[in-house]
Chain A
Amino acid sequence: MTLQTFLFVCLSGVVLGALYALMATGLAVVWTTLGIFNFAHGTFIAAGAYLAWQLSQGGHSAGFLPNAAISIASLFAVGVLFHLLLVKPFERKPNAVLLSVMTTLAGASIVEGIINLVWGPRSKQLQSIVGDIRFAGIVMSYNDVVMIAVAVAILAAVGAFLRYSTIGRSMRAVAQNREAAQLLGLNVPLLYALAFGLSAALAGMAGLFVGSMRFMTPSMGSEPLMKALIVVIFGGIARFTSPIYAAFVVGMLEAFSTYYVGLYWTPAVLFALMIAVLMIKPEGLFGKYERSV
């Protein structure tokens, strides 16, 4: 392996890592705050991509940034709605985890069905930013560069929001101890809904990038969902930052394993590694076994 190839593989790992970080952070926000696993996260990604595609069609497109903002804001609303309709009714049931798995799975089928009805099964692609950077013999598309930059910026913003803003700190408090947070007068249902909305908005953001890198189909969300799942398990959810580190680790692993064992075996390698991590360190590589953002 030449240095150039090595750098190239590293870079593609970083690109994947940035994408996975966006997906996994959204998933982890819901998991840490509400303690449930949202199987509709993948379809949120698809919905974000399709909404942005729809907005970019026709002559009266408002430009990339407003389109992205509208689709992300709509996804936030979808997330809140999802929480109110599919998760909240089961919150107090003894088997809430299993029930919410079932309802979010059903919700995912509904969203996927709606995408299918509205946009049809034909694959589409979001316009990506044309052009690439050449540096020391390495080629990198503007799209990837922008994605890494935006992903890092957004994750930093979310991190700052969770760490320094009152609402973000309240969300972390609810995640750590729901009853105590409630005793302190925090509006738990509102914070839960906000967490779900934030998670869906992050998914929509990831959808913008996925849609510009690959072809969009109504079922495009299931693969990112599995990747996000691997990342979250890999990193654990002890801190907000754990899935981010894990995302880059997984991205690197994927890039190198694609180089060495090929595209087909890479998912199997990742899953096998994840199972190994769970057997040895079920709390994830970066964390303690507890819920907290």
Chain B
Amino acid sequence: MRYDPPFRRTPGFIPALLVLGVLAAFPLLFTDSHARHLLILVFIYAIVAASWDLSLGYGGLVNFSHVALFAAGIYSYGILAKTLGVSPWLAIAAGGVVAVVLASAIALPILRLDGIYVILVTLAFSQLLYQIVISQSDVTGGTSGMVTLPGLKVGDYRFIGNNRIGYYYVALALFAASIAGLHAIIRSRLGRAMVALRDNKYYAMARGVSEARTRLAALAISAFFAGIAGGFYGSYIRVASPDAFGLGQLTLILSMVLAGGAGTLWGPAAGAFIITLLSEAIADYGSWRTIIISLIIIAVLIFYPGGFWAGIQDLRDLVDRLRTSMLALYRRRYARAIRERLLGATEKMITTRYGKVAVADTGGSGPPLLFIHGNSACKEAFKYQFADFAADHRVIAFDLPGHGVSHNMDPETAYNVPAYAEIAETVLQSLGVDAAAVFGWSLGGYVALELAARGKIAVRALAIAGTAPLNVVPDDFAAGYNPDSHLVLAGKRFYSPQEARDFAGSATAPRSADSAFLHTTFRRTDGRTRLYMISRIGVTDWPRQMRMLREGRIPFAILNGANDPFLNHAYIRDLTYGNIWTEKPHDIPDGKHAPFFNQPELFNAALRAFLQYAASLARRPEPAAAATAP
């Protein structure tokens, strides 16, 4: 049930395009040769760091030969392009091939090794390469290296001309292609196999993932990118120096991967950017430079182990929290009249143990009827029910924490079903209500079940829609819901615009003048509510809810939409209910996940009939025995 859309559908797509656009426009705006030079280095190091991340971060292989393979790319470029006179373009490609061949040779001894031995063997291998390079001075120039390697050109145009603009765009293209290629590999079957082996080796092997083959592929592929980057580096710097094999170079690039954030792909690329610019900024300080960079690396590892990428994620988290709470504040202050008109009820803020929630209450002396909305919606979703039931009921609805105009609350404690149920109790109690009929929709359905099972509020009648009661959690999720639907988005924190449209459209109704408010409230919802709804699933006493339904002391109704795209209707039908209205789930024709909104008349009629049935049971002495259809 893993949700994994193509990149163009994810929230990262637009930022990535923006960055690419800025990088593409950069040389047009800045003709300064040095700035371009720095960015070319950034692109090269970003390729090396990101491809290292494939084997190190995703593959969990602490492969210390990666930088040596980069150096091997430089040398094979030098030897092919200068000594043998091969076309520079071919020599760059050959750098990748040479690196793959070497990586396969390295892979052989480490296929069966683990942990620190992998570090030692790969390090030894890179030292072996280094020793070979400096001992073969007739071919490689020995310790003084190779100089005046041929540069890139097409016809008579030298790419170094016009302040390096040719190199800049080749580097940018290589960078973009490498990142795209690595991203595709990470998302592929191979990438999944690598992550599976890293996270749980024996489970992955039991599921048929070949450790040796996957490791070999991971090393060879990451080597290919490093080799290409090396070849290009050779063509750009036009020097092949044995220093490229050294521990200093290794430390620098490893710090890009780790300080950027291993296992994130984007982190090492960002790390390359930051560390290259930083090391350039303090280039004049001699030995202080290595000391400062090393201190920064240690500080990052101690105080911010996730690296820069985790920092960017935290920043995004902060921005999203601020955005949703500011939006809620604004709507609380200035859009109250619109909401009150929509529901025909006054709105007030009620303080609970977790924070303040917004409550709509029509008042009056009719029997109380509480509506609880679902994931990422708001109390106004029940506007048709308020219009219909206000005449003979006291209709109450509230915004769940982090939803609508309620406050964002502490996700650790407030964003889970029992807390929601407790908040519902507090709301009813502070309105002076101690017994009510309750309707819960989707996530609100679980809240309603929990509210009834807790027993602090006397629930006279209990109805749910779009909710599959659960026995065994989380296994029953797979049985109760249809995993192919947009439901897989329900636990996702950040949505791309397309995902927001998809999920809100499926959960409520496609956007129209009528349903627009459900789409706008969606953007206000604190994304952490979705995350914690899933991660805090264990705090709810699910079997207690099922016992309550089986015992049937509370009149119960299921009013699902017949066309609910999320639900597995057969699973819900086959559960045991002690006292269910019409003896089976009552489907609303043409209703979808929000039948009360899609088919308000049919739904309201059904709900009214159920409430009358529940009231009639309450007048009889033996409710369970009389559980027949009206």
- Which residues of A come within 8 Å of B, CB atoms? 31, 35-37, 39, 85-86, 89-90, 93, 97-99, 101-103, 105-110, 112-114, 116-117, 222, 226, 229-230, 232-233, 264-265, 267-268, 271-272, 274-275, 278-279, 282
| Residue ID in chain A nearest B122 by CB atoms | A275
Q: Given A105-B247, A271-B124, verify A113-B258 contact (CB < 8 Å).
A: no
**B159 on the interface (CB 8 Å rule)?**
no
CB distance from A255 to the nearest CB of B (A): 17
Are A107 and B294 in contact (CB-based, < 8 A)?
yes
Minimum distance in angstroms from A100 CB to a CB of chain B: 10
Pairs across A and B, CB under 8 Å, 10 listed: A37-B116, A98-B62, A99-B301, A103-B297, A105-B250, A105-B254, A106-B294, A117-B287, A226-B124, A271-B125
Partner of B294, one of A101, A110, A267, A268: A110
Interface: B13 (CB within 8 A): no
Query: Which residue from A86, A106, A267 sits with its C-beta under 8 Å from B131?
Result: A267
Q: Does B500 contact A (CB under 8 A)?
A: no
Looking at B125, B135, B293, the one whose CB has the most chain A CB atoms below 10 A away is: B135
A198 to chain B, nearest CB (A): 20
Binary CB contact string for chain B from 280 to 304 against chain A (1 if under 8 A, 0 otherwise):
0000001111110111011001100
**Bound Cα distance from A35 to B301, whole angstroms:** 19
Top 3 A-B pairs, shortest CB-CB distance: A264-B135, A271-B128, A106-B294
Query: Would you list which residues of chain B between 232 and 254 have a CB under 8 Å from chain A?
Result: 246-248, 250-251, 254
Within 8 A of A (CB), among B12-26: none
Point out the residue from A86, A113, A279, A282 that lies within 8 Å of B287, measured CB to CB: A113
Give the complex CA separation of A85 and B305 in angstroms: 15
Question: Chain B nearest CB: distance from A115 CB in Å?
Answer: 8
**Is the pair B294, A279 in contact by a Cβ cutoff of 8 Å?**
no
Tell me the nearest residue of chain B to A98, going by C-beta: B62
Q: How far is the CA of A264 from the CA of B139 in the complex (A)?
A: 14
**In the complex, what distance in Å separates the CA atom of A103 from the CA atom of B109?**
26
CB of A248, distance to nearest CB on chain B (Å) = 20
Query: Quick check: is B160 within 8 A (CB to CB) of the other chain?
Result: no
Q: Which of A36, A98, A113, A272 contacts B288 (CB 8 A)?
A: A113
Contacts A90-B301, A108-B251, A275-B124 supplied; 19 other A-B pairs, CB < 8 Å: A35-B116, A98-B62, A98-B258, A99-B305, A105-B250, A105-B251, A105-B254, A106-B294, A107-B298, A110-B290, A113-B290, A114-B291, A116-B286, A229-B120, A233-B120, A264-B134, A275-B121, A278-B121, A282-B117
**Contact residues in B for A90 (Cβ distance below 8 Å):** 301-302
> Chain B, 125-157, contact with A by CB distance < 8 Å: what is the 0/1 string?
101100110110000000000000000000000
- Number of chain B residues whose Cβ lies closer than 8 Å to a Cβ of chain A: 42
Q: Does B108 contact A (CB under 8 A)?
A: yes
Any chain A CB within 8 A of the CB of B461?
no
B209 interface residue (CB < 8 Å to A)? no
Q: Please give, as numbers and ranges, the residues of chain B lying within 8 Å of A106 by CB-CB distance.
A: 251, 255, 294-295, 297-298
Q: In whole angstroms, what is the CA distance A209 to B444 when docked?
A: 76
Q: Contacts of A112 on B, CB cut-off 8 Å?
A: 290
How far is the CB of A209 from the nearest CB of chain B, in Å? 22
Chain B nearest CB: distance from A290 CB in Å?
13
Q: Does B123 contact A (CB under 8 A)?
A: yes
Residue numbers in A under 8 Å from B135 (CB-CB): 264-265, 267-268
CA distance A274 to B117 in the complex (A): 12
Report whether B301 and A278 are in contact in the complex, using a CB–CB cutoff of 8 Å. Answer: no
Q: How far is the CA of A279 from the CA of B291 in the complex (A)?
A: 37
* Smallest Cβ-Cβ distance to B130: which chain A residue: A267
Whole-angstrom distance between the alpha carbons of A31 and B116 in the complex?
10
Q: Cβ of A278 and Cβ of B108 under 8 Å apart? A: no
What CA separation (Å) do A183 and B602 show in the bound complex?
Answer: 69
In the bound complex, do residue B131 and residue A103 qualify as a contact, i.e. CB atoms below 8 Å apart?
no
Give the distance in Å from the alpha carbon of A275 to the alpha carbon of B287 in the complex.
Answer: 34
Assuming the contacts A37-B119, A99-B301, asked whether A282 and B113 have C-beta atoms less than 8 A apart, the reply is yes
Contacts of A230 in B (CB 8 A): 124
What A residues does B9 contact at CB under 8 A?
none
The residue on A at minimum CB distance from B297 is A106
**In the complex, what residues of A have CB within 8 A of residue B286's CB?**
116-117
Chain B residues near A85: list those with CB within 8 A. 298
CA distance A47 to B301 in the complex (A): 25
List the A side residues contacting B305 at CB < 8 Å: 93, 99
Residues from chain A with Cβ under 8 Å of B120 in the complex:
37, 229, 232-233, 278
Q: Is B127 a contact partner of A267 (Cβ separation < 8 A)?
A: yes
Tell me whether A86 and B298 are in contact in the complex, defined as CB-CB below 8 angstroms, given that A267-B127, A271-B127, A272-B128 are known contacts: yes
Complex alpha-carbon distance, A113 and B251, angstroms: 14
Query: How far apart sit A264 and B288, CA to CA, in the bound complex (Å)?
Result: 33
Is B553 at the interface (CB under 8 A from chain A)? no
- Say if the beta carbon of B115 comes within 8 Å of chain A: yes
Docked pose: A110 CA to B293 CA in angstroms: 9
B316 at the A interface (CB under 8 A): no
Which one of B132, B251, B291, B295 has the highest number of Cβ atoms from chain A below 10 Å of its Cβ? B291
CB distance from B124 to the nearest CB of A (A): 5
Q: Does residue B112 face the partner (Cβ distance < 8 Å to A)?
A: yes
Q: How far is the CB of B111 from chain A (nearest CB, A)?
A: 9
The answer, among A93, A101, A110, A226, for a CB contact under 8 Å with B62, is A101
Q: Which of B328-361 contact A (CB under 8 A)?
A: none
Minimum Cβ distance to chain A for residue B506 (Å): 38
Question: Nearest residue in B to A283 (C-beta to C-beta)?
Answer: B117
Q: Look across to chain A and name the residue whose beta carbon is closest to the beta carbon of B126.
A: A271
Which residues does chain B contribute within 8 Å of A117, judged by CB atoms?
Answer: 286-288, 291
Residue contact B258 to A102, C-beta cutoff 8 Å: yes
User: Using an 8 Å CB-CB cutoff, how does the interface string of B249-272 with A read, 1 for contact, 0 for none?
Assistant: 011001100100000000000000
Residues from chain A with a CB closer than 8 A to the CB of B247 are 39, 105, 108, 222
Inter-chain CA distance A271–B128, complex, in Å, is 6
Q: Which residues of B have CB within 8 Å of A279?
A: 108-109
In the bound complex, residues from chain B placing their C-beta under 8 Å from that of A109 are: 248, 251, 290-291, 293-294
Instruction: Find the residue from A101, A226, A271 having the highest chain B CB count within 10 A.
Output: A271
The answer on a CB contact under 8 Å between A275 and B113 is: no
Nearest chain A CB to B134's CB is how many angstroms away? 8
Q: Which of A99, A229, A264 contacts B123 (CB 8 A)?
A: A229
Chain B: which residue is nearest A112 at the CB level? B290
Contacts of A101 in B (CB 8 A): 62, 119
Answer whether A103 and B254 are a contact pair too, CB < 8 Å, given A116-B287, A226-B127.
Answer: no
Query: Which residues on B sit within 8 Å (CB–CB) of A105?
Result: 247, 250-251, 254
B114 to chain A, nearest CB (A): 9
* Cross-chain contact B291 with A275 (CB below 8 angstroms): no
Interfacial chain A residues near B128, Cβ < 8 Å: 267-268, 271-272, 275
Residues of B within 8 A of A233 (CB): 117, 120-121, 124
A272 to B250, CA, bound (A): 21
